[in-house]
Amino acid sequence: MNLEKYLQEKKSFIDKQLDELLPSASTFPNIIHEAMRYSIFAGGKRLRPILTIASAETCGGDFRNASVYKTACAIELIHTYTLIHDDLPAIDNDDYRRGQLTCHKKFDEATAILAGDALLTQAFELLSSIETEEGNAKFASLKNIHYIAKCIGSQGVIGGQVIDIISEDKTVDEESLEYIHFKKTAELFKAAIISGGVLEGCDQKELTALENFANYYGLAFQITDDILDIEGNSEKMGKNIGSDLKNKKATYPSLYGIEKSKDMARSALLKAMESLVIFGEKADTLKAIASYTINRSS
């Protein structure tokens, strides 16, 4: 399989669906739709929706089914909302994201807050619009709504963000660092990956395997992101590097040093791969995506 071709094709497909699903920029009130579309189409690898597709395919699904691509798009809407809010002056105060001005810099703070809120809301409008034609899609969708909401709520992504903010300027122990990263990063990967399996009617054993994969992969992804914030190239990354240091953030390199962090990312990736053993070669694409993105430079 040509992975780069797979990623490119799925990204274009997701972009086309997002373009059709989002209200046009000329829909009243224009400013909010311009801001939503600006942040969605400012770039982005579409990694999480591609993982939803790859996970559904691992479990026998097809990305052309509306239940799969609508779930994948909802995950990207949620991801972009977290990025817009994370960049706000009250949180990370970043000027660039995905190689472009952040939403509050391009528009204003109020519009950026509302654009994030609107993307989050539209994600659930989309998830709840999944129809019954495709077998058990409606029931699976309800299960996904519950699971995704839990992953991104106050004991999920938002919980991780809260502890991240409280920990700024403080020495953070291993347990808190793990909490921050599992919640802030791995929970949305979990939502993306599990939802593909739920749509295809995976049993509990398969869902647990996907969950273990998502947790280890999310950890490896975040450690890599922390390393790239030190060693990466800001042009390739599309955002300023060194922002963790500037914001005195708790990161893996700050607690363990760069070399140990690289070892930890490799070991988490290995555990992620091992988690998928029950799927045999059906999980090859999911594994290839994991390996490619952990060894990424942007």
Binding site for ligand GRG (CB under 6 A): 44-45, 47, 79, 82-83, 85-86, 91, 98, 157-158, 161, 184-185, 222, 225
Q: Which residues are CB-contacts of 92 (< 8 A; sequence separation ≥ 6)?
A: 86, 243, 247
How many Å separate Cα 153 from the centre of its chain? 14
CB of residue 22 to ligand GRG, shortest distance in Å: 16
CA dist 93 and 105 (Å) reads: 10
Length of the chain in residues, anyone? Answer: 298
CB of residue 188 to ligand GRG, shortest distance in Å: 6
Q: Which two tokens stand for residue 88?
A: 């706000």
CB of residue 85 to ligand GRG, shortest distance in Å: 4
Classify residue 39 by its DSSP letter. H
Is the CB of 45 or the CB of 266 nearer to ligand GRG? Answer: 45
* ∠ CA 184-154-166, rounded to 5°: 65
Is the CB of 33 or the CB of 85 nearer to ligand GRG? Answer: 85
Q: Where are the beta strands (DSSP E) in the chain?
A: 96-97, 100-101
Is the CB of 83 or the CB of 199 nearer to ligand GRG? Answer: 83
Is the CB of 236 or the CB of 282 nearer to ligand GRG? Answer: 236
Residues of 63-87 as b/e, b for ≥16 C-beta within 10 angstroms?
A: bebebbbbbbbbbbbbbbbbbbbbb
Q: Which two tokens stand for residue 237?
A: 């990354």
Is the CB of 85 or the CB of 200 nearer to ligand GRG? Answer: 85
CB of residue 292 to ligand GRG, shortest distance in Å: 13
Is the CB of 200 or the CB of 244 nearer to ligand GRG? Answer: 244
Residue 285's nearest CA partner among 155, 250, 293 is 293
Is the CB of 98 or the CB of 190 nearer to ligand GRG? Answer: 98
CB of residue 39 to ligand GRG, shortest distance in Å: 10
CA dist 188 and 131 (Å) reads: 24
Q: Which two tokens stand for residue 252?
A: 């893996």
CB of residue 26 to ligand GRG, shortest distance in Å: 26
Residue 141's nearest CA partner among 72, 225, 220 is 72
Sign of CA dihedral 262, 268, 272, 275: positive
Q: Which two tokens stand for residue 240?
A: 């300023």
Is the CB of 65 or the CB of 224 nearer to ligand GRG? Answer: 224
CB of residue 186 to ligand GRG, shortest distance in Å: 9
CB of residue 160 to ligand GRG, shortest distance in Å: 7
SS3 100: strand
